[in-house]
Amino acid sequence: MKYLNLNITFNIYQYEELNESDSKLIDKACEMTKHSYAPYSKFYVGAAALLKSGIVVTGSNQENAAYPSGLCAERTALFAANSLYPDYPVIALAIAARNTQGFLKKPIPPCGACRQVMLETENRFNHPIRILLYGTEAIYEVKSVVDLLPLSFDKTAMDI
Ligand code: THU
């Protein structure tokens, strides 16, 4: 038997430690929770994608009475960014979430499907996305979705 250990790396920040660009991106994600349509879960998620051009494209989760028809904030933002600006890499993505009590204390962990879409976006532009996961007690920064999705499936897995 062999043993494989895949390491992932996070930086942990307090809000006050962030540079202006990152705190602004997180503020946008927090603001976007107000645009969330989440009458079923009452879990309000906002995302803000920074493009290489400096443009920020935002998204929020959009639910549906037919539950699987809804979409997470991260994918809403990334699909909007990629549709509107197909030539600009996404270089950073901030995510924030609140429930009926307020913003989450711990950093919001993106769902698996959103991680997969982040990976596709990275690969499409051949550019890592720095991901900022907001919590009131801490903010996690990962330098690439590779750290959120080890042993991932991408087009190279289909190579024969
Ligand atoms: N949600 C997101 O928008 N992003 C995530 O990363 C996790 C979950 C949404 C989907 C659904 O509208 C609600 O949060 C509860 O799962």
Q: What's the pLDDT at 159?
A: 85
74 among known catalytic residues = yes
| pLDDT string in tens for the chain (160-residue length) | 999 999 999 999 999 999 999 999 999 999 999 999 999 999 999 999 999 999 999 999 999 999 999 999 999 999 999 999 999 999 999 999 999 999 999 999 999 999 999 999 999 999 999 999 999 999 999 999 999 999 999 999 998 6
List the residue whose alpha carbon is closest to atom 10 of ligand 1. Answer: 72
Beta strand 90-99 with 139-142 is: unpaired
* 72 touches ligand 1 (CB under 6 Å): yes
Check residue 124 and give its pLDDT: 96
Residue 160: per-residue pLDDT: 66
Amino acid making up residue 156? T
User: Ligand 1 in contact with 38 (CB < 6 A)?
Assistant: yes
**Residue 94: its H or E element:** strand 90-99
| DSSP string computed for 4-50 | -------EEE-GGGS-HHHHHHHHHHHHHGGG-B-TTT--EEEEEEE
**What single DSSP character describes residue 71?**
B
